Structure 1
Amino acid sequence: MSKSKELNISSERLEYLNSMRIRRISTTVTQIFILLVFFILWEFLARFGFIDPFITSQPTRIVKTIINLYNEGQLFHHIAVTCLETFTGFLSGTILGTVIAVILWWSEFLSEVSEPYLVVLNSLPKIALGPIFIVWFGAGTTSIIVIALAVSLIVTILEVLNGFSSTDEEQIKLLKTFGANRLQTFTKVVFPSNLPVIINSLKINVGLSWVGVIVGEFLVSKAGLGYLIVYGGQVFRLDLVMASVVILCIAAGLMYKAVVILQKLLVKNHTKI
């Protein structure tokens, strides 16, 4: 009897899951279709002279450029340099920003004192500080990572701190009535309820870290995708520029997908708990 009940309930659940699966598949297929149409149209317009392939390049020339970079042994070297710089800036910006947000949430006095400085620093174009970082940290990888860190740090602090401050007051009051201290309040309510906020800051930092690294490589670099873009522009090799941009898009998309997978794992583990 109980087995038949489970079957009846699971059939409704199964129908819902099937509809969600079909929707996900149709969304993915549509996204791939749009991308294919874009590249086919781009190739068609360039091949038949509607646009100048020297200025806009074209998919087939981009593929040839990527193959040439691979044959020359440069492709994975430049990708690895940029990805390492981006991941380091991304990770350090997220961790440091979250830690500072915790400290500011812990001390209302520090939070109030730092608020105007955070607002000003957030509105300041951090890229303008690039030359200063180069003088301070030298013309190398460290400066590029620091630029990426500077771009993402303040945004992370403000995003996570706002989430901590917006935690349900009733839950906090309930814990306090049971004698919970500040640390217990943070570990039991504030941090767990703001995991989605931290994940959202990770998603934001994906884009910001790539922006910081590429700008840093524009200013000072001897390798990396940003270096290839600058070099290609200087010698009018637009195929190299567009190939680097395409690789950047793929790498950023994969990094964002990794964050989404992490989010699903955290949500799954959280629901089990």
Structure 2
Amino acid sequence: MAFHLKALVMFSSSLLFFVTFQIPHVHANQAKAGKQKSSAWKKAHATFYEGSATTFGGACGYDDVTKHGYGLNTAALSKALFKEGVTCGACFELKCNQQKWCKGSNSIIITATDHCPPNPQQDSNNGGWCNPPREHFDLSKPAYLKIAEYKAGIVPVYYRRVSCKRKGGIKFTITGNPYFYLVTVSNVGGSGQVIAVQVKGNKTPWTSLRRNWGQKWETNAKLQGQALTFKVKTSDGSSTTSSNVFPNSWQFGQTFEGRNFS
């Protein structure tokens, strides 16, 4: 089984907790259906690591994978799959491929929420499971135990990209300060993999956000005191616009929901 350390990145924020509000009349426009087509099955391996809802989303910026809508069916991806955080939020279907250790023919759908770093001190086939160019899934322990026996430690698997099915809307959380805004985008359906984010206030024109790390997006545009509209584009080319999803009275640390992809 794989064990590794996660680097924790701290950002200053006026609030350190989430307050979730449901906005009853959020309007969204979708350019496409937002459905990720299932890809062909490929071969990889899977291990597991210990943790909790507050640690399984480390490298993607999901400080609590349950609150962000992903549950515990999550995985840390090797560098070849993680792609510097670009794959955060994508969904994969996995099934065990070693009858001796598999729990039946069950498959699971997991969300990419973390990074499994390389371990160049160990051979790629003996401990350095996440070394390039290996495609490897370091599953959360609860997810791993749904498809394989604990004592196996590592098992070969088949995997493929699939569409993400989410409950509720896309979640937007703003932290930072009046001079630096950091937006976490989560619970994204369809492709699940966000590649572009734009924001517009009632006084501020459309502004493209820059990826800071994982699924945290930054801007220095002055947004406080304005109703905010967000546009999200995913890796399959779909886009959705959530109009006035943030009221002009929003505060740092709050989470609001827009409409999701189907």
TM-score range, shorter-chain basis? under 0.3
Query: TM-score with structure 1 length normalisation?
Result: 0.24
More helix by share: 1
Q: Which protein has greater RCO, CA pairs closer than 8 Å, 6+ apart?
A: 2
More strand by share: 2
Larger radius of gyration: 1
